[in-house]
Each structure stands twice: as structure tokens, then as C-alpha cells.
Structure 1
Amino acid sequence: MTGQEGTPMTEQRELLPTATGRQTVAALRTLLRPRRWLAGAGLLVLTSATAVGLFVAPLLGHVVDLVTTGAPASAITTPVVALAVVAVASGAATAWGLTLIARLGEGALAELRERFLDRALRLPLGQVERAGSGDLTSRAGNDLNAVASVVRSGLPELARSLLAIFLTLAGLAVLDWRFMAAALLAAPVQLYTVWWYGGRALPLYARQRVAVGAQQQQLLETIGGAPTVRALRRREQHLGLVTGRSQEAVDLTMRGVNLVTRFYARLNLAEFIGLSAVLATGFLLVRSGEVSIGAATAAALYFHNLFTPVNIALGLIDDVQSATAALVRIVGVADLPEPAAPPAPRTPADASLHADAVSHAYTADRPVLHEVTIAVPAGQRVALVGASGAGKSTLAGLVAGVHEPTSGSIRVGGVGIGDLDPAGRRAVALITQEVYVFAGTLAEDLRLARPDATDDELTAALEQVGAAEWAAALPEGLATVVGEGGHRLTAAQAQQLALARLVLADPAVAVLDEATAEAGSAGARVLEASVVAALQGRTGLLVAHRLTQAALADRVVVLDEGRIVESGSHDELRETPDGRYAELWRAWSGRRDADHAA
């Protein structure tokens, strides 16, 4: 895989890979190989339809000859009926052939989309974070749509147009080889135009798609961080960043429009040259008596009929270039090699957690954790406490397998996190403050964690986390549509939904990264009880947003600048004079008391 070249405004992210030309061709072969019969049948039917349609021009030429020679009106009846039959047969065969080609394209597109989504869902979250979610979403949205557009409309039309071009040239040769030679005078201009355009379009479209991904990433960051942006009075700066990203995408798009305009201007010149040559040839051949007026008319009609397929075929180059730039980005993800499986996957002996001398840096000059060692016995709950940027979420992500530590090791039940067998990997679950409610019924959303769960089991999971009351009050209970376009859940309800999924998935180890941060004070108190209930019988590692969560844990670990500075029970640390946790507790308690008084 090769990396992508960024544009000037694009920040230097480690973007997801793109495929090489050879890899893209190999992927297309893999998609088309099982559909060879559809391709063959579709091309055969379209060839037949085009061949039948070629009879229109000579039949019209024959009618012209009959009229110019003064033939009776009855003599025209047969060619007119033949024209009608040819039109109906050609139209029916064309529709059938396009249907077969469409089935070929839709089947291949569906398989490509499934492969992309399957691989995207299994990408390491750390890799997605380094690339930025905008890169992945632009591939899943804009790029797939660009390929789909070409497959659905461009591919059938391209096949039909190419067949029409070759067979029409053959028809010109049958009339007189000099007609075909005259028509081909347009070819050098057309070929040069394609060469000129192709060398400029593909790099331009590749840069444009990277710019669109950067634009989406900036929009996601600005919208997602809107409260922080407003709090820090950074609105103008972020609007400037969005404007810069958008302007870059617009500039590249307008360069593409300018390129396409010049492309079509040159094609129009080629049409003028070819038609002039065919008409001049027809005039000379008719004057010398070598062909009839009807044959010259048929030749002119043939060439005129070439305008549409040639323009469609060459015009589709623009769409194909754009789709190719999109396809290499899609295949780059879809064909990513699977991570190497551990040589001997092992099952953890228990639900204990051990982080031994773990250090981590997102970049070489940006260390986040330094020699962190934590041991969490099976069934114990440990809360991570510290200021923003202390490394809490990073440590949680390492334990959950989102990132790999730069140095040190993380073990679950005595087995390294990378050596766990599939069952062992499912034994560790991560819940963050960013909970997604999927579009569908509440029951379908819950069954994402356990597809075979019964309605009674779903209800029991909701009851365990304190969500049964509001779930029962929904208009249709478990059958109520939630998520996009459905019933809107509050932040606390969405978090309880995530905790109910955790109960249904039943992992031995649960990592909760500020799972109550999105709720208000009242909602947070409810969620804290939900968290305790969901963690019953499990080993828990909690990134504590509120210190009341830490107070409920068996042990509290205080991080400061990526290092453990304190560890002990809530009561022990609270009573430690001049301790970091005691300082945090006093400050937090003071704010809480002030809020209650207000």
C-alpha cells in the first residue's frame, strides 16, 4: 500500500493507506471473476443490439435513394416497416443487455462495499484515530458514492458506447473504406485530448479527495468540540480552519471544472474535423459516381450517430478518473492485510489485569505514560483519577487493546493482550463517554451485544442498570425505534443503553472511560448506580470523571503527567495529608457544595 499525498492545508496525519494500481486491478479481477457469465452475456446482447441498430442508417439511405429515383410510394413501405422492426428489436435487446451489465455492477459493488465495511469495522481504533475519522467517513461516504455512481450509470453506458463506436466504424467501412478513413481523422485529436486530460485529472482528483477528507475531519472536530470551542472563545479561529479546509476543497473542485471544460472543447473540435471530412468524402464519391446519395447519407448518419457514444465514452473518462481515485482509497482499506494472529492464542486463566512498566507515546516527542504498573485482581474495581491530560484515557485504551504500548506489557489473566484467543478478546469490553445509539428498535440496539438474547433477557439487562422504567414508558416498549429518525434518548439514557449492552455481552473485564461525563449532575448520580450494577461480578477499570465514582471503587490510582503518584483506597487517600487525591477531593467537594447551595 502507498501513502497519500496531502494538500497544503491538510495537516500531517497518518492517513489510511491507498492501493497501488496493481492492487486495484487485482481487486477488480477478484470481484469480476465469479460474474464472468454475466459480463459475457451482457456484452453479447449489447453487441447484438448495436449490430441490429446499424441497419437504421442504410435503411434510411435506401429510402433516400428511392425518393431521389422517383420510386412509387408503395416501394417505401417495406423499408419503413423494417425500420420499425429494427428500432423495436434494438431497443429491447439494449434494455436486456443493460440489465445484465447492471446486475454485474451491482453485485460487484455490493461485495466491494461489504468487504470495505467489514475491514473498516475491524481496523485498530488507534489507526483510525491517527488518520482522523474524517478520512474514514469520506471513504465510506463520498468515495463509495463516486464508485457506485459510475457502476450504476457509467459502466452500462460505457460498454454500450464502446460497442457502438467499433461497430459503427465497421458499418462505415462496409459502405466504403474511405468513409471510415475520413471519420478516423477525428481520432488523433480525441486520443491526444484523452492523453492530455488523463495525465492531469487523476492526480487532481486524488488531491481533491484528500482535501474533502480533511474538510470533513475539521467539521467533525469543530462540531464535536463546539462546547469547548465556545468556552475558550475560539470560535473565529475554528471557523477560519473550516473555511481554509473548505476553500482548499473548492479550489481543487474548480480546477477540475476548468479541466473538464477544456476537455469538452477539444472534443467538439474533433467532431467538427470528422464530420467535415465525412461530408467532403461523400461529396467527392457521389460526384464521381462511386457511391449513391443514399450511401453518402448513410455515412453521414453513421458519423453523426458516433457523436453520442464517443462523447459518452470520453465524457465518462471524467467520472472514471474520479471513481478510480475513490476506488484506490476504498481498496486500500478493504484489502488491508489482517493483523498477524498470535502464534499460539491463549485463554486467560482469570479476569485479573496487569499493566507492567507500561509507557506510551503517540509520537516520538510526545510521551503520555511513563513506566506505569498496575495490578487489578479479578473482580476488583479500580478508578483512575487525575487532571485532564494525565494519561487516564490512554491507559484505558491500552488495557482495552485500542493501542499497543510503546514499551511494557498488559496481561489479562496472565496472557498478553495481543496473545488472547477470540474468546479472550471478547472478555474485555470498552465503554466511552461517546455512546452511539443505532437506528432501529431498542431491542435491535440491545441485541448488538448478544444477537440471540430473548426479550426477557433484554428487559433483565435494562432492569439491572436502572433503565427498565424509562424503557417501559416508551411508546412501543422494546419495539420503539430509537436513534436517527426515531425516539431521541437523553445522554443518561443512551449511557444506560450502553451499560445494558455491557451486561448482555457479559465480559469478564470492563473498561469505562468517563462513562458518566455526558450526563448532568442528577443524571450522573443515576449513572453511577448503573455503573456499579453493570460491574457486578466483573473486573473494572474506571476513568473517573466525578470523584464520587472513585469513592465507590475498591482502589483509586492517581495519575499525574503520565505517572502514578498515589494508589490506595478512597478513605486512605482522602486522609493522606498533602496528598494529590486529598487535594482533588477537597476541591471537588467544595465545588459540589457550592452547586448544592446555589
Structure 2
Amino acid sequence: MTAPTQTTLSIATRRRSFAHLAPLLRRRGGWIVLLFVAGVANAGAGLVGPWAIGRLVDELPAGAGADVVWTSAIAVAIAGIVMAVGTWIGAWALAHVAMPVVAELRTQVVESALSLESQRVEKTGTGDLVSRVADDSRKISEAAAQVLPLVVESLLVVIVSAAGLAAIDWRLGIVGLAALPMYWLTLRWYLPRSEPIYKQERAAFGRRAGRLLGGLTGAKTLRAYRAEAGELRRIDSASGEARDLSIDVFRFLTRAFGRNNRAEAVVLSLLLITGFVLVWFGESTAGAVTTAALVFHRLFNPIGALVGLFDQIQSAGASLTRMVGVIDEATTSPRRPIDPGTADPALVLEDLWFTYDEDPNSSNHVLTGVSLRIDPGEVVAVVGTTGAGKSTLARIAAGLSAPTRGRAALVFGGAASAGKPSQDLTALPETVLREHIAMVAQEVHTFSGTLRDNVALPVPEAGDDQVRSALEEVGAGWVSTLPAGLDTEIGDGGTRLTAVQEQTIALARLALADPDFAILDEATAEAGSAGAHVLEQSARAALGSRGALVVAHRLSQAETADRVLVMEHGRVIEEGTHDELVAAGGRYAELWAAWSA
């Protein structure tokens, strides 16, 4: 039995994630040293206040004068200045450590996400990837800006204060050590339970993002079928799951706080009792005990902060493992076979079966045993009702989806397939695949930038003459009316283009890329009746002499194709030229009669 498809991208181990961060941190070693020095000075200055109070407790009852008060006050003032400067320097150094590391990590994740194979993204869904690039990246940024400074400060305060407590009186220091096993037990209870629950929470956020994204992008389809209520229930279910997990996380954190507070109350009580005994027998002074109690009490906030922030630390850690998982998946994918490089391949689809269910043996197939061969320069049109499987066939032919069963391949070296070198589309590196096959879908995205940058997207090194030639090839005469020609800013915030103009840009990209095969999935549907004729001419010009699979939403596109496939319920029910199918009087003839009328 075939293993179920992995529905999420990889998640790195915690060790692997921190190993990935290590070289990024080593490049900023000087700032880390400065951060440590400033933190130690800041934490040490914080001990001056408890020391000054303890001194006053011992010396004032013994008859000391105002000079003791003044020197203590001056010491506290100087310590305050040191703490202020140390805090500022520490924040400055931390910003130079954390912000560049987070920025570099985010860049790596985005670059890795863009380099992932199309089939992999199709299998996992865009929601998981969007959640990692957006939500997890935001979580790491927030942790670096808000959580990390408090964690670093708290750790240094705990270490320095513990050393100061031992220096006041080693016996009181030993009593203070009683807190360690209690805190350790809290962490032992907390840590093994926290990581799974935070990973579940982040995964639930990813599923929620996927549902929301799917609902927003498919809003037109949902309205067309009056299926909004069902999709809203699914979105509500995903949101409810994320909400319930967040509540469980809060409840879990509250229990951790309770254990922490219990440790503080027990140890502070032991410290005061021990101090009372030492003072009673003359082994210590009231001032020393007061100082020790204040130093230990000073630990409450940083230790509480460490435990209180641990949920955010763990959540950020879970986000880090998901982000590094994207980087690892993009960089450690197995090497694929090299393209044979022979010109004029044929596109061969053999016995294709496809299901969106995780179980490959599901009976709910979108495609059932579809076979097709497109020779160099041949244009094949696919027609059929909505839900017939046309777009799924187009995505498999473009190498964007892998068939559940069957094979989609490029066959090199002549008309006959037997014995000829071939490559499965899913086995070709993405860059090589796009040299042979390009797809233009119904929905086109125009990026913020110049018209030149938008057209040159598949060939960034293309010059102005090449870009103009591609636009002229698809009949984009409207470019001459733009205020700055190729330098006109389009997309969000730029010059608004019509649906026909945006689709023309997509066809110009195809002409510039010049692949062996073009896959057009209702690429002229957005033009409406008014612009359909213009776009159909542009599409024919963009195809040129290359082979093509055209999912036709208008039968006038099928009329000019070399061959027509008629699909119903995932199967090819008719195949032939336009004239042959009209003469046969079958399903295509019925569609043509309705279209002609």
C-alpha cells in the first residue's frame, strides 16, 4: 500500500534549528560579548540596593551617623546610573545581534519557500507555507524584539544574584539552593509537555490560515455554488481548534506559575527561619539576613519572567523549527536526474489517475485513466463541463501536480516513444522543467514594479528590446499609451490595468520564456465577451509554433486547435479534430450546436 501523502512541510528538530542559528550568531560575536558585559554590570548594580538596606539595618541601631545614610544613598544613585547605562548598552547590543539574525533567517525562509518544488507545495497546500513565512516569521520577530531582551536580562540577574546571595553568607546561600530542585521539578514537569502543545498550536494556526486563504481565494466559486455556509463551518471548525489549543496553553501556563510561586514561598520562608536562627546564635547579623532576603526576593521577578515567558519562548522555538524545516526541505531535497537536453520533446501523459484525498487508493478520483500525447508544435484543446477534470489535467501537464497513478513525461528524440530517452515531469529540476513547459492560468498576478520587470519575470536578464518584442508579439499596442512606457509602475499603487491588459502581460511572459510547450488553463476567461476576441488572438500569437494544451472556455479556441479532447467526470469521452467531432454527432457536437446558437 502506498504511504499517505505528507500534508505539511518538514519540521526541523530543535537541535538542528539552533545549529542553523549558530553560524548566524558567531558573525556577531563582538556584540554578544558587549551584551554579556553590560548585562553583568547591570545585574551587579542591582545588588547595591539590598546591600545598602542591610548596612543601614546593622549600623543605624548601633549609633551610626548621617554619613552612613548619605554614602548608601550615593551608592544607590551610582548603581541606578550604571543600571540605566547598562540597560541602554544591552538593548543596543541585543538589537545588533537579534534583528540582523531574524532578518537573515526570514530572507532564507522566503528564498527557500520560493525555491520549493511546485509539486511539494501542491501536496501540502499553500496555507502551511504561508503560515510559516508569515505567522512564524512574525512570531520570531516579536520574540527577538520583546521576549529575548527580558530573557537575557532575567538570566543574568538570576546568575549574579545567586552569586551575591552566596557571598553574603554561605549558609544562607545553601538555603537559597533549595529553590533549585523545586524550580527543576517545575521545569521537568513543564518542558516535556510544553513543546508538543506549542507545536500543535502552531500547526492549528497553519490549518486555520489555510482554511481562511482557501475561503478568500475561492469566494467566487463558493458564491456560485451557494456553498458559503459549508466553507464557513470548516473555517469556524479550524478557528475553534486553534482557539481551544490557545486556551489549553494558557491553562497549562497557569499551572506552571502556581508551581513556581509555591517554590518561592517555601524557600523565602526557609531563608527567614534560617536567618532568624543565625542571628539568635550570633552567627550572622540582621542586616545580612535582610540583604539576603531582599536579594532572594529580587529573584522572584526574573524567575517569574523566565517561566512566564517560557510559553512565548517555546512558541517561538516551535516557529523556528517550522521555519528551519522549510530551509532544510529546500536545500536537502534529493538531486534529480539531469535533463537529456534533446530538442523538440513530446509531452506524454500515460494512464493518469488523480485524487485529492490523502489515501491514494481512494475511489474519489478527479482523473480516471487519461492518456494524451502532444507532439512538438501540436495544439490540443480540452473542453468539458465544470468539474470534468480539465484544470487538474492542465496542472499535471505543467508539472505543478504529480499524478496519483500514471506518468507525465517529456519524451525526447522523434515521434515514436519506445526506446526514446524520457524524463518524468516530477523528476526534472524546476528550472529545467520551466525551460520546456510554462503555464498561463485564468488568474494572473501583476507584481508591484515596472512593466518591464513584470514581463521579464521568467527571464530577468532580458533587455528592453526583448521585452518590447514579446509585448508586440502578443499585440500589446496599449503599452505605447502608458505614461512612462516600460518604466511605468503597475500593480498595487501603480497604474491600473484592465483584465485584458494584465492577461496580455502573462502571455508576453510566455512568449519571452519561449518554452517547448505552453499550458493555457482558461487563460482568456477573465476578458469577458468584449475582450475575448482580442485575447484569443494574443494567445494564438503567444503559442507560435510551440506545442500547447489549451483548456478552452470558449469553443472558438477548440475550433482552431489541431485536436480536441472532450472530458466528462475525469474521463476522455471523445477525441478528434473539430470537424470530425462535429460530424460524429456526439457530446462535442451538442456543445458546438449550443455554442453556435
TM over 0.5: yes
- Matching residue within 495, 518, 521 for 1:513: 521
Question: Are residues 141 and 260 of structure 1, via their aligned partners in 2, closer, same or farther at CA, if it must alter by over 3 Å?
Answer: same
> Is 1:503 aligned to 2:511, yes or no?
yes
Equivalent residue of 1:518, what SS?
A: helix
- Measured after TM superposition, the shift of residue 244 of structure 1 is 1.9
Superposed CA offset, 1:14-48 (max 9, x none): 22232334443443445445555544453344234
- Matching residue within 321, 340, 347 for 2:341: 347
* TM-score normalised per structure 1: 0.86
- Measured after TM superposition, the shift of residue 561 of structure 1 is 4.3
- Measured after TM superposition, the shift of residue 584 of structure 1 is 1.9
Does the CA-based 8 Å contact 1:509-1:539 persist in structure 2?
yes
Match of 2:591 in 1: 584
User: Where does 1:515-530 land on structure 2 (aligned, <5 Å)?
Assistant: 515-530=523-538
Q: Give me the whole-angstrom Cα distance separating, in 2, the residues matched to 1:468 and 1:314.
A: 65
Question: Are residues 339 and 346 of structure 1, via their aligned partners in 2, closer, same or farther at CA, if it must alter by over 3 Å?
Answer: farther
> Is 1:571 aligned to 2:569, yes or no?
no
User: Where does 1:30-179 land on structure 2 (aligned, <5 Å)?
Assistant: 31-36=24-29, 38-179=31-172
Equivalent residue of 2:391, what SS?
A: helix
Q: Give me the whole-angstrom Cα distance separating, in 1, the residues matched to 2:285 and 2:490.
A: 73
Superposed CA offset, 1:549-577 (max 9, x none): 22233333333444444444333433x23
Q: Give me the whole-angstrom Cα distance separating, in 2, the residues matched to 1:236 and 1:367.
A: 25
Q: Give me the whole-angstrom Cα distance separating, in 1, the residues matched to 2:55 and 2:529.
A: 88
Q: Give me the whole-angstrom Cα distance separating, in 2, the residues matched to 1:401 and 1:490.
A: 29
Does the CA-based 8 Å contact 2:122-2:401 persist in structure 1?
no
Q: Give me the whole-angstrom Cα distance separating, in 1, the residues matched to 2:591 and 2:139.
A: 53
Superposed CA offset, 1:425-484 (max 9, x none): 423211212322223444443343332344555444444434442x55556655554434
> Is 1:303 aligned to 2:311, yes or no?
no
- Measured after TM superposition, the shift of residue 344 of structure 1 is 4.2
Q: How many residues align?
A: 578
> Is 1:428 aligned to 2:455, yes or no?
no
Return the letter of the residue paired with 1:387: T
Superposed CA offset, 1:123-165 (max 9, x none): 2333323322222212222222222222333233222211211
User: Where does 1:362-381 land on structure 2 (aligned, <5 Å)?
Assistant: 362=355, 363-365=360-362, 366-369=364-367, 372-381=370-379
Does the CA-based 8 Å contact 1:348-1:412 persist in structure 2?
no
Task: Select between 224-233 and 540-549 the one with higher mean Cα deviation.
Answer: 224-233
Match of 2:417 in 1: none
Q: Give me the whole-angstrom Cα distance separating, in 2, the residues matched to 1:483 and 1:450.
A: 19
Return the letter of the residue paired with 1:587: A
Q: Give me the whole-angstrom Cα distance separating, in 1, the residues matched to 2:444 and 2:379.
A: 22
Equivalent residue of 1:557, what SS?
A: strand
- Matching residue within 442, 446, 457 for 1:448: 457
Match of 1:8 in 2: none
Question: Are residues 364 and 490 of structure 1, via their aligned partners in 2, closer, same or farther at CA, if it must alter by over 3 Å?
Answer: farther
Equivalent residue of 1:429, what SS?
A: strand
Question: Are residues 489 and 71 of structure 1, via their aligned partners in 2, closer, same or farther at CA, if it must alter by over 3 Å?
Answer: farther
Q: Give me the whole-angstrom Cα distance separating, in 2, the residues matched to 1:47 and 1:328.
A: 30
> Is 1:395 aligned to 2:393, yes or no?
yes
Question: Are residues 146 and 125 of structure 1, via their aligned partners in 2, closer, same or farther at CA, if it must alter by over 3 Å?
Answer: same
> Is 1:240 aligned to 2:237, yes or no?
no
Q: Give me the whole-angstrom Cα distance separating, in 2, the residues matched to 1:187 and 1:472.
A: 76
Does the CA-based 8 Å contact 1:348-1:424 persist in structure 2?
no
Does the CA-based 8 Å contact 1:146-1:323 persist in structure 2?
yes
Match of 1:317 in 2: 310
- Matching residue within 255, 263, 269 for 2:262: 269
Q: Give me the whole-angstrom Cα distance separating, in 1, the residues matched to 2:31 and 2:561.
A: 63
Does the CA-based 8 Å contact 2:118-2:401 persist in structure 1?
yes
Does the CA-based 8 Å contact 1:358-1:369 persist in structure 2?
no
Return the letter of the residue paired with 1:556: V
Match of 1:257 in 2: 250
Superposed CA offset, 1:500-555 (max 9, x none): 32233333322111112333222333322221222224332211122122223333
Q: For the aligned residues, what is the CA RMSD? A: 3.2
Does the CA-based 8 Å contact 1:368-1:562 persist in structure 2?
yes
Question: Are residues 463 and 121 of structure 1, via their aligned partners in 2, closer, same or farther at CA, if it must alter by over 3 Å?
Answer: same
Question: Are residues 32 and 360 of structure 1, via their aligned partners in 2, closer, same or farther at CA, if it must alter by over 3 Å?
Answer: farther
Q: Give me the whole-angstrom Cα distance separating, in 2, the residues matched to 1:457 and 1:59.
A: 78
Return the letter of the residue paired with 2:588: Y
Task: Select between 360-369 and 118-127 the one with higher mean Cα deviation.
Answer: 360-369
Match of 1:549 in 2: 557
Does the CA-based 8 Å contact 1:355-1:372 persist in structure 2?
no
Runs of 4 or more above 6 Å deviation:
none
Return the letter of the residue paired with 1:451: P
Q: Give me the whole-angstrom Cα distance separating, in 2, the residues matched to 1:346 and 1:316.
A: 55
Q: Give me the whole-angstrom Cα distance separating, in 1, the residues matched to 2:517 and 2:47.
A: 71
Equivalent residue of 1:519, what SS?
A: helix
Question: Are residues 535 and 192 of structure 1, via their aligned partners in 2, closer, same or farther at CA, if it must alter by over 3 Å?
Answer: same
Equivalent residue of 1:411, what SS?
A: strand
Structure 2 unaligned runs (5+)? 414-421
- Measured after TM superposition, the shift of residue 322 of structure 1 is 1.3
Question: Are residues 97 and 539 of structure 1, via their aligned partners in 2, closer, same or farther at CA, if it must alter by over 3 Å?
Answer: same
Equivalent residue of 1:430, what SS?
A: strand
Q: Give me the whole-angstrom Cα distance separating, in 2, the residues matched to 1:428 and 1:516.
A: 19
Question: Are residues 436 and 86 of structure 1, via their aligned partners in 2, closer, same or farther at CA, if it must alter by over 3 Å?
Answer: same
Superposed CA offset, 1:51-97 (max 9, x none): 34434432443355454444333454444333333332343234333
Match of 1:220 in 2: 213
Question: Are residues 389 and 307 of structure 1, via their aligned partners in 2, closer, same or farther at CA, if it must alter by over 3 Å?
Answer: same
- Measured after TM superposition, the shift of residue 259 of structure 1 is 1.9
- Measured after TM superposition, the shift of residue 272 of structure 1 is 2.7
Question: Are residues 482 and 300 of structure 1, via their aligned partners in 2, closer, same or farther at CA, if it must alter by over 3 Å?
Answer: farther
Equivalent residue of 1:520, what SS?
A: helix
Match of 1:198 in 2: 191
Q: Give me the whole-angstrom Cα distance separating, in 1, the residues matched to 2:98 and 2:240.
A: 35
Return the letter of the residue paired with 2:386: S
Identity rate of aligned residues, in percent? Answer: 41
Match of 1:594 in 2: none
